[in-house]
Each structure stands twice: as structure tokens, then as C-alpha cells.
């Protein structure tokens, strides 16, 4: 089944399954009436009970990540031996009934180095939706060590994710079979199997997590962040949102413009797009990244392992390989074979960072020779599967959040009608992401809106950074977000680079602008261009 992506990878293959934080094609759609949205799409900012706002967190040494967070070992200390600390925070399951059932959200923090000049807590959301912030923050913390000079670095598992009342659907064994299914059906029989798979997955989610499903969307996550701000003792929210985290940050700014402190949105989701437009934009974005990979391979001459002297020739090799896999999967990992769907998924995963391009080249070359292990490992990372066959709840939460956010529900006929445009956008990803429009078609909970409202009149400047080579959140989304936030609020910065995101590229211009704002309050000039 297709899994669509709005979060970067990391530099080493060994880390793939621990840090892939990815998203589905409907990622730009948010929140439902179950979350208290008014008829015009602006949510009612319901008062939080005083007892929850006044709760005291009990910070303790962090345990190893749970299975739903992806497993692994407890995080290593920060530079200087500073330990990571973890806690849980109570929030209402339903903000419409704030005195009713409570759930607990998992938090992690690394304390600021300069306690005398500490600004507050800098809250991170690394994307997804569905990614565990508790596991991601220690993994990416070296990128943000300068910011820890004056901020406590804080992240969390949003509701429905990881340790925070996690959405659960199919078992690990069932997921192996589900992700191996053909996600680009070519015949009526394959279409039937495809839709039955979607229905079976939705039914499993309803059976295991039904009561929570109406409440896992983006508006409730934004409300949780405002409660978190209060519990952490900050008058304003200092925020760093990446990928889907930019949408969450935009929704927060819309709901609580006067509570925004200094905020940065990097790898920006276009808030004006519906599910179809977002998927088509991703299709074009991944195609652009693939073409850039092909050009890079050709520029290396004989060192490039792939056949062809033009991007089109390498693309033809890739589409030919995928066609062969559609007819006959090849050896993968253990008894598991590499299917066309998993290969496409693995290719998409490898385009999140230029550092992954060597793995893509090697994986395609090996698959051409009948060995699909590397592409399958990349696909597993996309799906949150570790080498022992255990799945995090990354994709379960991803689907649940996207489907309560987006009200669009596509039929087979509607999807078929859209496929020509998707195929034109990308011979490699068109069918894959086009059929992904049906991801919510069998979902048991209705969605709310076509796209979120992120207008934030009265909010302070919010930095909005777009990467011209970003595959998952195409560059145009940054300008759209800056405009949608409103005049004097969105401050756009352009980075001419590759991969998903900008700050963690190490580019001195981008990091200088962000650090100057977050640490010193210096607002960069709107329209700043970094190369």
C-alpha cells in the first residue's frame, strides 16, 4: 500500500528504521468537527481546566523507546553528559468535554546549557504526521546544539503517536502482507484486492483504536501544544516545526496568535492545497528530486552504476525495473520478496536526503541483478519496520491523523480519472501517489476540511523556509504559507538545495538566519535567499 512522505531520512542505512518520520499525501488537511471546529473552519479555543494547566511534570531518566515508538535503546547523554529527561502530561481526550476522559502525552527534554540566560522551551515537531518526537529529538539533537545554549529542547509524541494513546491497527505479521500488496492496480481483480485491503486496514484500526480516532487530528494537537506551553511555564510558545510540523505550527498560530513567541517553519506544507493538490505536488516534487539524482549520477561518468547517458534513459531503466517487479517480485530480506510497491516506496524514501543517493544507486543496481534487499530495507524504514519485523505505529497514526483532518473520500472511478495527470507528472511515482488518493476512502471517521486555516493576524514574525529541491514539501508551499499566515507574519527564506528541509543541511546562511531569530530575536529580511 502506498505510504507518502514528508520527512527526511538520515545519513546511515543502519539508522533508517529508527528515524524515518514520514507522511501521507493528504498531509496538508487538518482537523474535524469532532475536534470542535466551527462552521467557518476556525476551531473554538476552548478553555483548559485549571487543574491541567497547573499540573506539574515529573521528569525522570528516559527509558528505551517503546515498540510503538520504534524500539531501540535509551538516548545517549547530550554533550557535557547532560541527561535526557522524560515525562508525561495529561490532556483531555475531547476538548469539547474538558472535564471528561484524559490521556497522557509523552515528552522529552534536553535542558539549556546557559541557565542564567535561558529563554524558555523550544518545542519541536519533526513531521509525519505519526513520527515520535520523543525518539526523533535525541537523533537530531546535534543539529540543534547551538539552540540549546538558551533553550530547553523539548519534543513530544502527539496524541495517537508512540506512547501517547497510540493508534493501533494490524499486527506486525499482517502489516508485512499489507505493505507487500499491489498499490497500483492494473485490472479489475487487482482493484478489488486493493480496495478490500484498504477496508480491512480501516476496520482493524476501528476495532483496536475506535474511541480515539475522532480526536487525533491537528487541531487537538495544537491545543495540546498550548497546554504544554503553560505546563512548561512559558508565556509564549517557542516552536520549530518541520514538514507536517509546519502545518501544525500554522494551525497553532491561527488558534493562538497572541501566544506565539519565536517560531520557525522548515520544509513547508502548502496550507492552500487539498489532498489531491498535495499529492500531485508531491508527485512533481519526487520526480524533480529523482531527476536531480539522475543528473548527479550521469555527471559522475563511469562511476555511475546505472545504465544511460541522460536522465530519461536512467528513468527508463527505473520504470522498466518496476514493471518487471510488478510481474514478478525478487528476493528481498529473508523470506520476504521485493514487490513493485515496496521498490517504489524505497525509491521515495531515498530521495529525502542527498546523503541517501548512494543507497538508491546501489539498491537499483542490485535489484536489477535480482537482489532487492537494500530497496526493501529503505521501504521498511518508510513504513516504520525494524530489522526484527516489529512495526512502530508511524503509519497507523499517519493514516488516522490524515483521515480525520481531510474530508475528501475518493472512489475508484474518481481516482482512475485523476491518474493521467499524475502519470504525466511522474512516470515513476504517478500511479503510486495517484492511487494513494484512496487512503481514506474506507475510514470509519469523517474528516473536517479541505485544507487548514493558518491565518494568524496579530502573531509576531514567523520564519518560513523553503528548499527548492525538496521532494516531499515542494518549494512553492513556503511562499503559500508565508502569504496565508498574513502580512507582517510570514517571513519567507529560500534555500537552493537538495533533500527534505533546510536547517539540518548545515547551510551557514539558513542556520545563521534561524539562530539569529530564535536566540536574539533578529528578524531576517523577507525574501532572503541562501545557496
Closest CA to 511 of 79, 136, 501, 526: 501
The catalytically annotated residue of 243, 353, 441, 505 is: 243
Active site residue 243: yes
The catalytically annotated residue of 152, 270, 470, 504 is: 470
Active site residue 500: yes
Cross-strand pairs, 530: 495
Closest CA to 226 of 238, 210, 214, 215: 238
* CA 266 to centroid of chain Cα atoms: 12
How is residue 335 written as a grid cell? 523470506
Cross-strand pairs, 92: 102
Distance of alpha carbon 177 from alpha carbon 207, whole angstroms: 19
Site of grid cell 492552500: 272
Cross-strand pairs, 120: 151
Q: How many CA atoms lie within 13 A of 241 on its CB side?
A: 32
The catalytically annotated residue of 182, 279, 500, 504 is: 500
How is residue 359 written as a grid cell? 543507497
Distance of alpha carbon 287 from alpha carbon 468, whole angstroms: 13
Active site residue 139: no
In eight-state DSSP terms, residue 37 is: B
Distance of alpha carbon 117 from alpha carbon 467, whole angstroms: 32
CA distances (Å), origin 354, targets 274, 279, 333, 334, 412: 28, 22, 25, 28, 35
CB environment 441-460: b (16+ within 10 A), e (fewer): bbbebebbbbbbbbbbeebb
Angle between helices 218-231 and 394-405 (to 10 degrees): 110
Distance of alpha carbon 35 from alpha carbon 21, whole angstroms: 24
User: Among all residues, which ones are annotated catalytic?
Assistant: 243, 470, 500
Amino acid at each position: 500500500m502506498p505510504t507518502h512522505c514528508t520527512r527526511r531520512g538520515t545519513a546511515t542505512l543502519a539508522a533508517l528504521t529508527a528515524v524515518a518520520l514520514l507522511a501521507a499525501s493528504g498531509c496538508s488537511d487538518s482537523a474535524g468537527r469532532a475536534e470542535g471546529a466551527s462552521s467557518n473552519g476556525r476551531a473554538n479555543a476552548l478553555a483548559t481546566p485549571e487543574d491541567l494547566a497547573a499540573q506539574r511534570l515529573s521528569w525522570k531518566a528516559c527509558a528505551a523507546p517503546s515498540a510503538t515508538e520504534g524500539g531501540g535503546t535509551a538516548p545517549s547523554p547530550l554533550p557535557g553528559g547532560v541527561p535526557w529527561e522524560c515525562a508525561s502530561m495529561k490532556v483531555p481526550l475531547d476538548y469539547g468535554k474538558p472535564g471528561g476522559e484524559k490521556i497522557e502525552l509523552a515528552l522529552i527534554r534536553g535542558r539549556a546549557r546557559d541557565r542564567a540566560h535561558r529563554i524558555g522551551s523550544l518545542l519541536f515537531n519533526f513531521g509525519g504526521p505519526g513520527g515520535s518526537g520523543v525518539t526523533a529529538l535525541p537523533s537530531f539533537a546535534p543539529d540543534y546544539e547551538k539552540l540549546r545554549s538558551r533553550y530547553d529542547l523539548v519534543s513530544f509524541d502527539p496524541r495517537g503517536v508512540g506512547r501517547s494513546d497510540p493508534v493501533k491497527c494490524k499486527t506486525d505479521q499482517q502489516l508485512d502482507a499489507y505493505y507487500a500488496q499491489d498499490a497500483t492496480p492494473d485490472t479489475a481483480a487487482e482493484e478489488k484486492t486493493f480496495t478490500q485491503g484498504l477496508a480491512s486496514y480501516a476496520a482493524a484500526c476501528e476495532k483496536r483504536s475506535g474511541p480515539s480516532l475522532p480526536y487525533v487530528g491537528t487541531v487537538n494537537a495544537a491545543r495540546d501544544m498550548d497546554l504544554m506551553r503553560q505546563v512548561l511555564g512559558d508565556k509564549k510558545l517557542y516552536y520549530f516545526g518541520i514538514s507536517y510540523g509546519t502545518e501544525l505550527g500554522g494551525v497553532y498560530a491561527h488558534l493562538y496568535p497572541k501566544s506565539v513567541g519565536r517560531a520557525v517553519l522548515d520544509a513547508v506544507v502548502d496550507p492552500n492545497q487539498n489532498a489531491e493538490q498535495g499529492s500531485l505536488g508531491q508527485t512533481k516534487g519526487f520526480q524533480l528530486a529523482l531527476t536531480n539524482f539522475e543528473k548527479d549520477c550521469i555527471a559522475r561518468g563511469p562511476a555511475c552504476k546505472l545504465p544511460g547517458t541522460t536522465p530519461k534513459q536512467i528513468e527508463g531503466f527505473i520504470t522498466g525495473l518496476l514493471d518487471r517487479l510488478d510481474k514478478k517480485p525478487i528476493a528481498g530480506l529473508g523470506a520476504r520478496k521485493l514487490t513493485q510497491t515496496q521498490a517504489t516506496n524505497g525509491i521515495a524514501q531515498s530521495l529525502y536526503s542527498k546523503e541517501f543517493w548512494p543507497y538508491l544507486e546501489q539498491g537499483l543496481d542490485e535489484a536489477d541483478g535480482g537482489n532487492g534487499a537494500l530497496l526493501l530495507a529503505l521501504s521498511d524504514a518508510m513504513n516504520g519496520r525494524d530489522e526484527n519485523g516489529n512495526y512502530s505505529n508511524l503509519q497507523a497514526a499517519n493514516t488516522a491523523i490524515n483521515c480525520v483532518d481531510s474530508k475528501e473520500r475518493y472512489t475508484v472511478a474518481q481516482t482512475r480519472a485523476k491518474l493521467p495527470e499524475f502519470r504525466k507528472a511522474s512516470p515513476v511515482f504517478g500511479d503510486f501517489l495517484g492511487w494513494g488518493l484512496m487512503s481514506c476512502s474506507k475510514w470509519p471517521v469523517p474528516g473536517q476540511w479541505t485544507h487548514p486555516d493558518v491565518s494568524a493576524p496579530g502573531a509576531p514574525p514567523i520564519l518560513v523556509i523553503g528548499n527548492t529541491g525538496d521532494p516531499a514539501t515542494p518549494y512553492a508551499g513556503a511562499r503559500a504559507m508565508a502569504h496565508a499566515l498574513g502580512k507582517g507574519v510570514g517571513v519567507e527564506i529560500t534555500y537552493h538545495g537538495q533533500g527534505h528541509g533546510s536547517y539540518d543541511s548545515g547551510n551557514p546562511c539558513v542556520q545563521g538566519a534561524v539562530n539569529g531569530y530564535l536566540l536574539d530575536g533578529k528578524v531576517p529580511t523577507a525574501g532572503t535567499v541562501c545557496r
